[in-house]
Amino acid sequence: TLAAQDIPAVAGAELRVPLVTGESIGYANLDHAASAPCLSAVRDAVDEFLPWYASVHRGAGFASQVSTKLYERTRGILREFVDARATDTVVFTRNTTDSFNLLARSLPKNTSVVVFDTEHHAALLPWRGPNVRRVQTPRTRLAAVSAVDSALAECPEGPRLVVLTGASNVTGELLPVKEIAAVARRHGARIALDAAQLSPHRKVSLRELDVDYVAFSGHKLYAPFGAGALVGRADWLRAAQPYLAGGGATKIVTGDAVVWNNGPERHEAGSPNTVGVYALGVACQTLSKQWDEIVEHEAVLLDRLRKGLAAVPGLTELSLFDAPVDRVGTLSFVLDGFEPGWVAAVLSAEYGIGVRDGAFCAHIATKRLIGEAGAAGQQALRVSLGLGTTEEHVDRLALALRQIVARGARWTYTRADGRWAP
Ligand code: PMP
């Protein structure tokens, strides 16, 4: 059973939230894909580190030495977390969005970029110019591989990059990364993996997948906000202009010249987020010890969720692919006759359940998948499971949705600042 499984504990399991009735209830956070709660191990480690943090690389004081050591040690932890090559560099960023913007600014001149149009905006939008090819995501994994093959065949001579998510933030479905990477290699292209949604749920091996870059965010990996990473080939990053100009990125500055660092510090100007980086490292270490249990825990809950949702009349789940594929515990759906924002407000106010509604920073994907599912509207509801999820949360959601459908949209909720509220 789930209870017998030893999965990493999260902080906040005891949180209670107010209901519209005035009572309170244990919070059912079904929005792990947006930001995951902090691991207890991370909270404890950060608590211990907080009195010690200091500026890195700049001070001879003991606290500075401790901070510098932990900060630099985390590069190795992240390298191990994604099974990077020894020659890969680890640049600390703010999050996945920051990582891809850094990579976009580091591309050699005239690099062609191939990207599916259903990607999260963080992976879709940083690439600019005439050499960006947006490929419409086909409805089978096989066709997706061929589509990248064809797009790469049409690219002009020169450097090429394929950008791809490991797991869809809308549907949780896994993309055929290894197969697409193999195709990319045949065309001499590099591949950048958006692991924002995959890395909290599965072991990501840069070497096994044969990808060149991987980007991820601490706040989706059960650490607090503010730290993420870009891990991968060093050459383009070393040759690029510094992402930010300032202290820490420089080797020598004179009256009329600057010599920039060649290592990851080149792109990390300014006092870095020492605590965030440390927290991210602890989260990665904690997850790495228990992948089997984590995968099993989520599979059991996802199965239970899907059975529960199958009993909700008028519910249509969204999918990228026609055939079922391996997936993480995230899914989106529409409820016939109900506005997603309104349903999300009712779930929160009357059931203490947190879900996401909208188009999930993947507008093209969400709108198209709603249409392809034969449903109406431009927005959907998203449920995402993780280490903070229990069977009770999943059962509460299924019951709540059945009750909402049975009662119909008849309570008075008003819209303020674009959100529904009681
Ligand atoms: N890619 C995917 C697949 C995501 O789900 C997200 C976050 N929703 C991002 C990128 C961007 O992550 P962040 O907001 O942490 O930069």
Could you report the per-residue pLDDT of 384-405, keeping only the tens digit for each? 999 999 999 999 999 999 999 9
pLDDT for residue 372: 95
Q: Is it the case that residue 222 has pLDDT exceeding 60?
A: yes
Could you report the per-residue pLDDT of 259-314, keeping only the tens digit for each? 999 999 999 999 999 999 999 999 999 999 999 999 999 999 999 999 999 999 99
pLDDT band at 100 (very low <50, low <70, confident <90, very high): very high
* Listed residue (193, 203, 272) closest to 233, CA to CA: 193
Identify whether the C-beta of residue 127 lies closer than 8 Å to the C-beta of residue 104: yes
pTM of the model: 0.96
Ligand 1 atom, smallest distance to 96 CA? 16
Structure tokens at 70: 């932990």
Which has the minimum average pLDDT: 7-21, 146-160, 204-218, 318-332?
7-21
Question: Whose C-alpha lies nearest to ligand 1, atom 8?
Answer: 34
Find the mean pLDDT for residues 62-77: 96
Strand-strand pairing, 190-194 and 213-217: parallel
- Taking 3-state DSSP, the helix, strand and coil percentages for the chain, each rounded to the nearest 5, stand at 40, 20, 40
Ligand 1 pocket, 122 CB below 6 A? yes
pLDDT for residue 4: 45
Q: CA 159 to CA 161: how far, in whole Å?
A: 7
Residue 255 burial (CB count, 10 A)? 4
* Listed residue (301, 1, 261, 80) closest to 172, CA to CA: 301
* Listed residue (187, 165, 189) closest to 99, CA to CA: 165
Q: Is it the case that residue 416 has pLDDT exceeding 60?
A: yes
pLDDT for residue 411: 62
Ligand 1 pocket, 194 CB below 6 A? yes
pLDDT band at 5 (very low <50, low <70, confident <90, very high): low
Identify whether the C-beta of residue 6 lies closer than 8 Å to the C-beta of residue 330: no
Q: What angle do CA 314, 296, 308 make, to 5 degrees?
A: 20
Helices assigned H by DSSP within 252-290: 274-288
ipTM of this predicted complex? 0.99
* Listed residue (87, 72, 81) closest to 235, CA to CA: 87
92 C-alpha vs ligand 1 centroid, how far in Å?
16
Q: Is it the case that residue 412 has pLDDT exceeding 70?
A: no
Q: What angle do CA 221, 99, 156 make, to 5 degrees?
A: 130
Q: Is 246 exposed, middle or buried (0-12, 13-18, 19+ CB in 10 A)?
A: exposed
Structure tokens at 382: 């998203």
Of the chain, the percentage scoring pLDDT greater than 70 comes to 98
Find the mean pLDDT for residues 48-66: 91
Residue 15 burial (CB count, 10 A)? 14
pLDDT for residue 239: 98
Of the chain, the percentage scoring pLDDT greater than 90 comes to 92
113 C-alpha vs ligand 1 centroid, how far in Å?
19
E-strand ranges in 246-370 read: 250-253, 258-260, 315-317, 330-335, 353-354, 356-358
Structure tokens at 161: 């990059």
Class of domain 16-30+291-421: alpha beta
Provide the 3-class DSSP secondary structure of residue 257: coil
Torsion-angle region of 235 (φ positive above 0: left; ψ -120 to 50: alpha; else: beta): alpha
Ligand 1 pocket, 123 CB below 6 A? yes
Active site residue 284: no
Find the mean pLDDT for residues 107-128: 97
Rg (CA), the chain: 22
Structure tokens at 314: 């008028």
Helices assigned H by DSSP within 154-290: 177-186, 206-209, 235-239, 274-288
Ligand 1 pocket, 265 CB below 6 A? no
Q: Catalytic residue, from 38, 155, 284, 361: name it.
A: 361
Q: Is it the case that residue 153 has pLDDT exceeding 50?
A: yes
Q: Which CATH number fits domain 42-288: 3.90.1150.10, 1.20.1250.20, 3.40.640.10, 3.40.50.11750?
A: 3.40.640.10
Find the mean pLDDT for residues 107-111: 96
Question: Whose C-alpha lies nearest to ligand 1, atom 12?
Answer: 96
pLDDT for residue 2: 58
* Listed residue (43, 29, 11, 14) closest to 386, CA to CA: 29
Task: Report the run of H or E that residue 414 belongs to, with start and end.
Answer: strand 414-416
**DSSP-derived secondary structure for 58-121:** S--SHHHHHHHHHHHHHHHHHHHHTT--TT-EEEEESSHHHHHHHHHHHSPTT-EEEEETTS-H
Q: CA 66 to CA 397: how far, in whole Å?
A: 45
User: What is the average pLDDT score of the chain?
Assistant: 95
Provide the 3-class DSSP secondary structure of residue 193: strand
Ligand 1 atom, smallest distance to 220 CA? 15
Positive or negative torsion for Cα 186, 190, 195, 197 = negative
Could you report the per-residue pLDDT of 159-185, keeping only the tens digit for each? 999 999 999 999 999 999 999 999 999
Structure tokens at 418: 């674009």
DSSP 220: G
Per-domain boundaries in the chain: 16-30+291-421, 42-288
